[in-house]
Amino acid sequence: MKLAQRDRLFVLTGAGVSAESGLATFRGSGGLWNGYRVEQVATPEAWEADPALVWRFYSMRRREAAAASPNAAHRTLARIENRLGDRFFLCTQNVDDLHERAGSLRVHHMHGSLFQSRCEGCPFLVADTACYESEDSLPRCPRCGSSLRPRIVWFGEIPLDMEGIYRRLDAAAALLVVGTSGSVYPAAGFVHRAVALGIGAMYIGPESPANAEAFDEIRLGPATRELPRLLEEIGAG
């Protein structure tokens, strides 16, 4: 991947980028939680049926993410951003904060943030690192009294700021996708949009994603190995 002096880079990351920090991916082995698939706990229907179960799931995720550290893949993306400045944009499907802790500044969490909660009845949004483990400890909105839920985009909900995402993608000269199965939309469709606009697209990860056919180049390998190699190649202008 070569970038000319004014070229912009759009990066999309998924669970694979945090795998080497010890955080489980969704669809790999170990991707189950207490026998539940992600589709069973990451939906508005699950929340409606059993908020305590959903909060236990996200409480566990908060604990695990807080205990994890950024890895060489997160750090390399921060170094690429450091070289490119505002020609760099990182859109992550991940809800952990490892990109920020590695030093990335221009990060957009399209599927929400693990360490935020929001009210389901009013616009109240709050930073929240607490764990809610039992039925009688579930949090309520201090403004209107409705239930507070994790600020996560579940299946059937619209990812955050799609307009801003597409504006950044359309302005890019290259799309780099790292560590995602290419099976969850709309993120899985970014590469098709890039192809239609003539934007070069590269994938990095240990196995081919479901949308592999759309990429110009696929580099098979763990992100902690392949991203530092890529950094050496990028002429950041």
Site for ligand BJW contains 223 (CB under 6 A):
yes
Kindly determine how many residues on this chain lie close enough to bind ligand BJW according to the rule CB under 6 A.
37
Site for ligand BJW contains 70 (CB under 6 A):
no
Does residue 112 contact residue 134 with C-beta atoms inside 8 Å? no
From the CB of residue 218, how many other CB atoms can be counted at a distance below 10 Å? 16
Residue 74 among the catalytic residues: no
- Exactly one of 74, 99, 109, 111 is catalytic; name it: 111
Question: What is the torsional sign of CA 127, 131, 136, 138?
Answer: positive
Question: Shortest gap between Cβ of 48 and ligand BJW (angstroms)?
Answer: 16
Question: Shortest gap between Cβ of 140 and ligand BJW (angstroms)?
Answer: 22
- Over the window 21 to 50, marking each residue x when it contacts ligand BJW by CB under 6 A and - when it does not, the resulting string is ----xxxx--x------x---x--------
- Over the window 104 to 143, marking each residue x when it contacts ligand BJW by CB under 6 A and - when it does not, the resulting string is -------x--------------------------------
Site for ligand BJW contains 209 (CB under 6 A):
yes
Q: Which chain residues interact with ligand BJW by CB under 6 A?
A: 14-16, 19-20, 25-28, 31, 38, 42, 93, 95, 111, 152-159, 162, 179-181, 183-186, 205-207, 209, 222-223
Q: Which residues are catalytic?
A: 111
